[in-house]
Structure 1
Amino acid sequence: MAQQAAEAPEVIAAAASDFGERLLQDAERVTQGVMQPWNAWQVAILFGAFALAHLGRAWLGPKLHDWMRKRSGWPRWRMRYAVTLHRRLRAVLFVVLAWIAVAVVEQLAPLGGAAVLRIVANLATGWLFVALVSRLISNPLLRGVVRYGAWTWITLRILDLTNETARLLDSLSIDLGDLRISVLLVLKAALVLGVAFFIARLLARTSAHRIESNREISPSMQVLAVKLSQLLFYGIAVFVGLRAVGVDLTGLAVLSGAIGVGLGFGLQKVVSNLVSGLIILLDKSIKPGDVISLGETFGWISTLGARYASVVTRDGKEYLIPNEDLITTQVVNWTHSDNSVRIDISFGASYGEDPHLVRRVSTAAAAGCTRVLEKPAPVCHITAFGDSSVDYTLRFWIDDATAGLTNIRGDVFLALWDAFKAEGISIPFPQREVRVLDGSALRVAQPAAE
């Protein structure tokens, strides 16, 4: 180990010297080549092609933009690519003109060749291809890593500097036991993992779309299947990516085991929420769209995540409830097995009113509300003879609890008010009298003198 550490600076210095010497040789060769008349003419042609591409962008860009604005019905991915092509229209035109120049020069002067034109055309084509393909990656960080890594690799490949660069990057390394990590290995891993994650994301999105469009699968099982497919695809991407760059995963077994034990003690709540979320998806007790009550929170399930459930209330608040709370506490699921919900409201009428009339009027008033179901029909029962009124309970059913409960109660109370007023039914309320006994003195407070 000590000997390897002592030899490392020498290896790095030798690799850097070879890389710098090769760059100097290439720079000198390019300078000498450009000074030749025929190569100078090729450079001039490239500048002309760039100028034409710039003018073409100025003329064609607005027309393409107006044409895109009329395609409002396009899918989002197609419009995104159209915008990308519009932004890189000058590069597209330059690539086309560069290859046309290569073909024309090789036909007019086959002996002189078009080496400079071909190198620049290859570079421009490779850079443009990478820029367009990397737009498929939605993650900005991953997209940047893949884009700049691919640009660098293409440039080195076309300039034939890959061997010297690989030797220099491989010399910059550290040894962790039997595991050797170099800059070259890290760059390869980043590029390969970027491509693997892109493919895994594409497959995960495709499978998620197919699962969610299948109406025969329940919403909870759809969420579970989507989560498991994402875990499978991304797990395969990591494994295949690391194996592709030559990382020995057996050397990480002991380290991952130690990390797993530490995380097991430190992340007990997180693991509990993950397991609880899996149980919820398997037993189908709660699914997206259900209306639930948990303590003072009443709302409908928006999404079921790996760690929490998103509950949206009627006032627009979104509560993130840990999955463990949905398992260990009492949850009222208003739409678990049936969307029909019974609502009870209580009111009172004076003793002088006919209870049969009160019952008929109240049930008819409730039935006149739009959200109240006809079957089962509303019913009204006497529940008690109170101190100042006969107490009633009105029961009715609805099948759209997601539209709210308080608002339908308010509508029924308002219908009762109008119906009782039309029928002359009085609603009693407590009244208080103050009596002054004989012989008592009533004193009136005098206002303070100003």
Structure 2
Amino acid sequence: MDIDLKDVLEFLQMAARSVGAEVTSPWFYLQVGMVLAGAGLAFAISAAIRARIDLTTLGMGWPTALRRFMRVLVDSAPTAVFALLMALTRIIMVMSTWPSRSYLLSVAANLALAWLAIGLVTSGIRNAFMVRVISLSAWLVAALSILGQLDPTIEALDSVSVVLGGLRLTPLLLIKLGLLLMVALWLTNIVSNFLENRITRSSDLTPSVQVLLIKMIRVGLMIFAVTVAMSAVGINLSALAIFSGAAGVGIGFGLQKIVANFISGIILLADKSVKPGDLVTIGDSQGRISAMKTRYISVAAGDGREFLIPNEDLVTQKVTNWTYTDKNTLVKIAFGTNYDADPRLVCKLAAGVAAAAPRAIKGKPPNCILTEFAEAGMKFSLTFWIADPDGMDNVKSDVMLALWDAFKHEGIRVPYPVRELRVRGALPVETVVEASS
């Protein structure tokens, strides 16, 4: 660790002497009073201005960026009025006394102007977090520059360092790297979202290829942003060789599942075994794939639930894809009748009921066969095709209800188990009572 304590102590002593000289002067308290009075007057004037302006109708028909700029300008009215009042007060003080006796007024006016300019410049940014970060960072740099403490602060932050394997880390370097990374990743997100919209609108690409391209673009842009940010602050990427070795060990032990899911996601997108919109059954979970992420896929069950299934499970486990090559689905219904019914008439009725179903495919006629002479009655199997597996249970229910109505009309009964209990050699009631007493 490289720390120059002497320079830091000298900087703190100079700052303390400067602040002490200002605080002990009566002009300091006069300027503080003027600043407070100006702030109160600015808020009162800005409140009157905003009361006369209707923000909902301001700039109707203007471009979105210009309307946002005007809204920010109206919201920044207190800062603008305060800066104007401080500048006028500063001019009056300079004309009536020594300029040094109005130094605080000049600082207040410059800080207000800096905050106003930063707010107007960042008005085109929609990300609220980035607006706060950029505004506070820019205003802090502007404040240090106005106070004449920017260079000493930079030197103080750069004087403390830690050397790790040839890489010199300082607070200044980390601050620069953090700010650049946030800006770079924010810009990367904007570019990736723009490209994602263009890719999803392309009708020439299948859904799986679209997701694969979007993932590759996002990962590539993120790596590029991190590399550019680190190179911009002067970090030699070769100095991170020791960290890459440690990261490799961590991936080998602690990140096995994450890497496995990431690679499995790429495999799924490349072989097109599943894609967004497919109806799948994975274990006890069934639904349509609504999204494919880097680590998991989202399966919407249709009842408000969504199953988040790791990509690795789709590669290693049995998956039923109802719409892999063809959406046509065969529906099977098993039912039974008693032996009093004519099996040929039963098959004819069942086939007619299935053919009349609204969702049944007309080009593929239904089929009904007798499968078993069981103890309780005859068992049949009815099969027919529908064009889409969505709502297959509803289709089966409708066909079974229609089949029940047809059986009732023809007098065909559906068997059900009947049990008779016969007790042989039962004792008379009186004997049973006597025994129990």
Number of aligned residues: 429
Q: For 2:270, give the aligned amino acid.
A: L
Alignment equivalent of 1:95, drawn from 73, 76, 80: 80
Partner secondary structure for residue 243 of structure 1: helix
Check the 8 A contact 2:337/2:414 in 1, yes or no.
yes
Check the 8 A contact 1:376/1:396 in 2, yes or no.
yes
CA drift at 1:235 = 0.9
Partner secondary structure for residue 275 of structure 2: coil
Alignment equivalent of 1:194, drawn from 160, 179, 182: 182
Alignment equivalent of 1:293, drawn from 281, 295, 300: 281
2:56 paired with 1:56 = no
Q: For 2:184, give the aligned amino acid.
A: A
Aligned counterparts, 1:190-339, within 5 A:
190-339=178-327
What's the % identity of the aligned pairs?
Answer: 36
Alignment equivalent of 2:374, drawn from 386, 390, 397: 386
Relative to structure 1, the CA distance from residue 395 to residue 170 in structure 2 (aligned partners, 3 Å threshold; closer, same or farther) is same
CA drift at 1:246 = 1.1
CA drift at 1:264 = 1.3
Partner secondary structure for residue 76 of structure 2: helix
- Per-residue Cα deviation, 1:343-384 (whole angstroms, up to 9, x for no partner): 101112233323333223222322333333333233222223
CA drift at 1:448 = 11
CA distance in 1, matches of 2:396, 2:70: 56
Alignment equivalent of 2:155, drawn from 167, 174, 184: 167
Q: For 2:177, give the aligned amino acid.
A: A
Aligned counterparts, 1:150-165, within 5 A:
150-165=138-153
Unaligned runs of 5+ in 2: none
Aligned counterparts, 1:37-76, within 5 A:
48-57=41-50, 59-60=51-52, 63-64=54-55, 66-67=56-57
CA distance in 1, matches of 2:283, 2:186: 42
Q: For 1:368, give the aligned amino acid.
A: A
Equivalence for 1:415: 402
| TM-score normalised by the chain length of structure 1 | 0.80
2:383 paired with 1:398 = no
CA distance in 2, matches of 1:328, 1:447: 70
Relative to structure 1, the CA distance from residue 56 to residue 267 in structure 2 (aligned partners, 3 Å threshold; closer, same or farther) is same
Q: For 2:406, give the aligned amino acid.
A: A
- Per-residue Cα deviation, 1:99-145 (whole angstroms, up to 9, x for no partner): 69969999xx99999998876555334434545738847485x6654
CA distance in 2, matches of 1:377, 1:122: 84
Unaligned runs of 5+ in 1: none
CA distance in 2, matches of 1:300, 1:164: 61
Equivalence for 2:166: 178
Relative to structure 1, the CA distance from residue 314 to residue 236 in structure 2 (aligned partners, 3 Å threshold; closer, same or farther) is same
| TM-score normalised by the chain length of structure 2 | 0.82
294-303 vs 229-238, which moves further = 294-303
CA distance in 1, matches of 2:182, 2:16: 29
Partner secondary structure for residue 369 of structure 1: coil
Q: For 2:287, give the aligned amino acid.
A: G
Q: For 1:400, give the aligned amino acid.
A: D
Q: For 1:241, give the aligned amino acid.
A: A
CA drift at 1:212 = 1.5
Q: For 1:394, give the aligned amino acid.
A: L
CA drift at 1:331 = 0.7
2:389 paired with 1:426 = no
CA distance in 2, matches of 1:448, 1:441: 13
Relative to structure 1, the CA distance from residue 74 to residue 98 in structure 2 (aligned partners, 3 Å threshold; closer, same or farther) is closer
Q: For 2:225, give the aligned amino acid.
A: A
CA distance in 2, matches of 1:341, 1:447: 68
CA drift at 1:34 = 6.3
CA drift at 1:427 = 1.7
